[in-house]
Amino acid sequence: MARAIALLDKPNSASFGMAPVVVADDASVRVLGFASASAHRGRGVTRPQVEELIRGGHALPVDADVPSALKPNTVALWFGDVFAKSAKALDLPAAPLPASPLEARGGTFFLGPSAALYPYLERWIIRAFQKFRSEQSDESRKEIAKLMRWVLPHRPESLAAAWATASKPERELELQSRTFELDKTAAQIRSSHEHFLKSAGDELADLRLVVFTGGTGVGRGELAERFAKQFSLECRSFRRSVVEQSSHAASLEDAKEKQVLADNGQREVDLSPLAFALSVLDSPPEKGRILVLDSLRHKKMRETLGWLQPKQVFVVAVTTDESERRRRVQARKIDPDTLFKHATEREIPDLTKQADLRIRDVATDQELRQIFDLVSHG
Amino acid sequence: MDPATVSRAEAILKIDPARRPVYAYAAFLHPDLGRIGLIVGSEWFTRDPHGVSRCDSGGLAGCVGGFGHLTEDQAARALEDLTHVSPHRWEDAWVTEVKDAFGGFRGYIAGAAPRRGCYKDARQTCIDAVLAKSGLLDPRLWVWEVRSFSSIARGDIEAVALAHEAWKELHENYGDDLPIDGIRYLVGRPADEGLHHFREDEVVAAFERGL
């Protein structure tokens, strides 16, 4: 094991952001998380230098056990205590967070690859901007704009919201032309804000999701495919997303492959439920379309899909006789008693109870039509 | 840096403790400077220059980091050899050296490593020793240090580079009435691929504009 000893750039309690993390073991100190353009800033940093940065207020001291094999693209997602309270008061919570929080002065942080954690900031901004645009109260709009500046101040959403709520809009434009909108005139920036405030939308907002849940062996995948085929819908699967990232598993025998896929799926959920959800929602079908999602296995993923605020999330739980389920699993040379205890199976009974509809694996076309009608009509 | 180390360097450079200079790196923001960096125009230096060294004087005199394998005597001699005391003209030598070592200023400013074997002085010995051991080269081995007795005035500051959390705090404290008006703030940002500590392309451009 190694220890995380500092977060560079000393994230503030009022902030929701990302920071490079300094990791030390007996032999060395490494700075993780810089993009390639800034990689030289973390090279060859020594422990006394880190201590000096902490003393000077440029880094936040932390103390946490971390795996020694952390990759160079590992960052700290920072969730400040004050930010959490402010966001809650405005009904703008963060997406369901990764599974392993680490404590620091003024907030909580999570370690993971930057590509898996950055969406927390980006999607929060998109959600906050949707609320900003629909909000009637000037006071609330100002509060939302202020909070957006504590997340990604350079994003067009944050800049447009800051301008729209500024007490001196011309002064705000001048400031933006000296910070995030370099080489643009105030008139150009104003014009792009006006356009953005009118037109920017969330591509997920018109999406209706029909999400299939159910344990291994219930015939869930087959039913989801049947449903999609019957109504000419696109079917995507959390399982398929994991398979694509576990290419080596295909060469294993059934039981081992299942174990590898289940473990990898669990890891994706623990690391970043938001990135995992977005991995199946990437380039959603045309506006207003219905998307079928198969293989929902975690309550956190259900919460995450809801947090993304598509037009509808309709969960269908597939069931079958327990004896039939066990027989199917055994036919794949997998021990059902071992499999059913895996973390990816554990929450399925609760998801089934909370589903919008429960359906047998042998559902008729007419029953599937009823689901389609329910979703189509909202 | 340890004050005793700085004092040792200043003694070698014959700097009167009663009249100490302000230090800066020539066209470089070192990571040790943290989350805020000031990019200062050359006017600051020319108002009341002390001199220039071809590497970090404190690191060399104290045999710190990459300079660690030198003895104190070797380091003292090297610092004298590598220093241009005012009014000696140093700019042409700096440009020639950077072009030779990096092919141009972009690599020097962006923290790239110099071409192998390009220095003909104690710095090369130090670089070779580091490469033989850990391979992690600290730019203080070759980034030029400039010293001026003049204070840095507000008008000397051409741009401020900030990491994104530092920017959030600055903006919270000052709003749109920032402490220095009329200059650019080169703010870093998080992204899918990791953290851009400062707005690196603009940092390079800001230094290049001043060359």
Largest CA distance in chain A: 71
pLDDT greater than 70 at residue A252: no
Distance CA(A16)–CA(A82), nearest Å, equals 9
Closest alpha carbon to A159 in B189, B200, B161, B204: B189
Chain mean pLDDT for chain A:
93
Can you tell me the mean pLDDT for A99-119?
97
CA-nearest residue to B204 within chain A is A37
Question: CA-to-CA distance for A156 and B189, rounded, in angstroms?
Answer: 13
Tell me if chain A has a CB within 8 Å of the CB of B121.
no
Mutate to test the interface with A, among B39, B174, B176, B184 (most CBs of A within 10 A): B176
Q: What is the CA radius of gyration of chain A?
A: 24
Helices and strands counted in chain A (H then E): 17, 13
- For helices A138-149 and B164-174, the axis angle rounded to 10 degrees is 140
Q: Which residues of A touch B192 (CB under 8 A)?
A: 114-115, 118
Point out the residue among A12, A37, A43 whose CB comes nearest to the CB of B165.
Answer: A12
Closest partner residue to A17 among B66, B165, B198, by Cβ?
B165
A352/A334: higher pLDDT: A352
Domain ranges of chain A: 2-117, 135-199, 208-376
pLDDT of residue A243: 77
CB-CB: which of B65, B112, B163 is closest to A9? Answer: B163
Best B168, B178, B181, B185 residue to mutate vs chain A (most A CBs within 10 Å)? B168
Asked whether the beta carbons of residue B172 and residue A14 sit closer than 8 angstroms, the reply is yes
Among A10-14, A261-265, B13-17, name the one with the lowest average pLDDT.
A261-265
Within 175-194 of B, beta carbons closer than 8 Å to A belong to 176, 178, 182-185, 187-194
CB contact under 8 A, A53 and B111: no
| pLDDT tens per residue across span A36-75 | 999 989 887 889 889 999 999 999 999 999 998 899 999 9
pLDDT digits (tens, 9 = 90+) for B41-100: 999 999 999 999 999 999 999 998 889 989 999 999 999 999 988 767 888 999 999 999
**Considering only CB atoms, which chain A residues are within 8 Å of B59?**
none
Question: pLDDT value at position A248?
Answer: 62
Q: Identify the bridge partners of residue B204 per DSSP, sorted by sequence position.
A: none
pLDDT, residue B136, reads 78
Q: Is the pLDDT of residue A201 over 90?
A: no
Q: How confident is the model at residue A153 (pLDDT cuts 50, 70, 90)?
A: very high
Over residues A122-130, mean pLDDT? 97
Residue A190, SS3 per DSSP: helix
Class of domain A208-376: alpha beta
Instruction: Look up residue A24 and give its DSSP letter.
Output: E
Q: Do B164 and A42 touch (CB under 8 A)?
A: no
A208-213 and A290-296 beta bridge pairing = parallel
The reported pLDDT for the residue numbered B87 is: 67
Name the pLDDT band for A298 (thresholds 50, 70, 90).
very high
Mean pLDDT of A257-274: 87
pLDDT of residue A111: 97
C-alpha dist (Å) from residue A183 to A180, A188, B156, B188, B203: 9, 10, 21, 17, 14
Q: How far off is chain B from A343, nearest CA to CA, in Å?
A: 29
Contact B197, B163 (CB under 8 A): yes
- To the nearest whole angstrom, how far is the Cα of B86 from the nearest Cα of chain A? 31
pLDDT reported for residue B126: 94
Tokens standing for residue A38: 């800034």
pTM: 0.93
Helix (H, G, I), strand (E, B) or coil at A324: helix
CB contact under 8 A, A9 and B178: no
Coil, helix or strand for B206?
A: helix
pLDDT per residue of chain B (211 residues) written in tens, 0 to 9: 778 888 999 999 999 999 999 999 999 998 887 999 999 999 999 999 999 999 999 999 999 888 998 999 999 999 999 998 876 788 899 999 999 999 999 999 988 999 989 999 999 999 999 999 877 788 999 999 999 999 999 999 999 999 999 999 999 999 888 888 889 999 999 999 999 999 999 999 999 988 7
Which positions in chain B touch A114 (Cβ < 8 Å)? Answer: 190-195
Cβ separation B31–A42 shorter than 8 A: yes
Q: Would you list the domain boundaries of chain B? A: 3-210
Exposed/middle/buried for B87, CB within 10 Å: 0-12, 13-18, 19+? exposed
